[in-house]
């Protein structure tokens, strides 16, 4: 099993409709330095989010940090990063939806 290095976060990045918004303070959050899941989501005609999921501990419990980075399509310049803490169970559900634990059919 690989070792995970955690760093303490004091703020979560937020984004507004066009540009980054002020960060929001958080305490008791440790986040792994390497993402364990990466995918694109929230596609629209204006762009899509590049989503990374990191292992985390929040208030002493297992959790995940989901980081959504907006990637605009050509001709648009909106940008921003949104970070949110999700429960351990919600993170496992993401893994299942993305087929991480899928077994190949014989």
Give the start-to-end residue ranges of the domains of the chain.
6-97
Q: Mean pLDDT over residues 7-28, rounded? A: 87
Identify the band that residue 1 occupies on the pLDDT scale cut at 50, 70 and 90: low
Tell me which of 64-73, 75-84, 91-100 is least confident: 75-84
In 10 A of CB 25, how many CB atoms? 9
- Give residue 98's pLDDT: 87
Torsion angle, alpha carbons of 34, 21, 70, 59, to 10? 30
């Amino acid at each position: 099993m690989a070792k995970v290095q955690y760093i303490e976060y004091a703020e979560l990045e937020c984004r507004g409709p066009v540009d980054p918004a002020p960060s929001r303070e958080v305490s008791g959050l440790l986040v792994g330095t390497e993402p364990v899941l990466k995918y694109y989501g929230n596609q629209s005609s204006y762009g899509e989010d590049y989503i990374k999921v990191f292992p985390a501990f929040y208030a002493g419990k297992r959790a995940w940090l989901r980081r959504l980075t907006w990637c605009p399509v050509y001709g648009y310049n909106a940008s921003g990063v949104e970070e949110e803490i999700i429960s351990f169970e919600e993170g496992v559900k993401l893994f299942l939806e993305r087929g991480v634990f899928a077994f190949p059919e014989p």
